[in-house]
Structure 1
Amino acid sequence: MTIALQYCHITVNDVDESLAFYRDALGLEVRKDVSSDGFRWVTLGSPTQPDVDIVLSQPHAGRSQADGDALQELLTKGVLPMMIFSTDDVDATFERVRASGAEVLQEPIDQPWGPRDSAFRDPSGNLIRIQQQAKA
């Protein structure tokens, strides 16, 4: 028996604005763009991970009004779980993301637990960390 991650959801306020961040600043490729019941889901992924997709969707997409409202409140507060991306060059990736106008939370630093990492907020306020594993 095997098991693997296939989809990971990121809740966003504006799919188009977030698409520009994840596609253009982070360099992910768009895989699907689906509309249904007045909402839209966009899946993106890294060419190096063809079997793992990130799904961008708004708080009310596919949810009840009450659940969407609760999710919107958490998104507004900036307390949804963070996403951590890995790269082989955190400094270059940091510069590309910063040049996109993303809110910088932390410039690249060497962490005592190993990786060199940086942090941003995406256009909806989600915490995004980008790390590079320490060289052996």
Structure 2
Amino acid sequence: MNLASIRIITGDIARLVEFYERATGVRADWSTEDFAELRTASGTLAIGSTRTVPLFAPGSARPADNRSVIIEFLVDDVDGVHRNLTGFVDDIVREPTTMPWGNRALLFRDPDGNLVNFFTPVTPAAVGKHAAPTR
């Protein structure tokens, strides 16, 4: 089994897709006006409008109502990303900080209030954990 994607349901898909395109530097692939995906080498961030919810189960998801999930992106230089996001991201939760498990992390909220973590492994153990597998 492989995790295919994480999907965010939003009331303003254009705003949220634009935010993630700018924050990640990844261009979205739009399937319809109600669904877009930002694909990375290891996973996909899908963004759907509230109009897609009834296709699954009416009332099963509400936009801007998450307080339990953190969307995480592995980046080459979290401090550089922080500099690039300064003035763009309104809600920085924690400036770049080296965490006890060896990642340097930047936490912020997207326009819908979802918590986002951009991180760079900085200790040997963390670097080893996130290294590409050898073949």
TM-score normalised to the size of structure 1? Answer: 0.77
Residues 119 and 10 of structure 1: is their aligned pair in 2 closer, same or farther, counting only changes over 3 Å?
A: same
Q: Number of aligned residue pairs: give it.
A: 122
- For residue 66 of structure 1, the aligned residue among 59, 68, 72 is 59
Overall identity of the aligned pairs, in % = 21
TM-score by length of structure 2 reads 0.78
**1:96 and 2:84 equivalent?**
yes
| Residue in structure 2 matching 1:122, options 110, 113, 121 | 110
Give ranges in structure 1 of 5+ residues lacking alignment: none
2:8 maps to 1:15: no
Shift of 1:80: 4.4
Query: In structure 1, which of residues 24, 43, 52 is the aligned counterpart of residue 37 of structure 2?
Result: 43
Letter in 2 for 1:9: R
Q: 1:12-39 deviations in whole A, cap 9, x for unaligned?
A: 231111111110122112123314xxxx
Q: 2:46 aligned with 1:55, yes or no?
A: yes
SS at structure 2 position matched to 1:25? helix
AA partner of residue 28 (structure 2): V
Instruction: Tell me how far apart the structure 1 counterparts of residues 28 and 104 of structure 2 sit (CA, whole Å).
Output: 27
Runs of 4+ residues over 4 Å off in structure 1 = none
Distance 2:58 2:3 in 1: 28
The AA in structure 1 aligned to 2:105 is D
Change (3 A) 1:65 1:5: closer
Deviations 1:93-122 (A, max 9, x none): 112223313311110011111100010100
- Consecutive unaligned residues of structure 2, counting only runs of 5 or more, are 125-135
Contact 2:93 2:109 in 1 (8 A): yes
Q: Does 1:106 align with 2:99?
A: no
* Partner SS state of residue 99, structure 1: coil
Which amino acid letter does the alignment assign opposite residue 24 of structure 2? L
In structure 1, C-alpha distance between the alignment counterparts of 2:123 and 2:87, rounded to whole Å: 26
Aligned residue in 2 for 1:32: 30
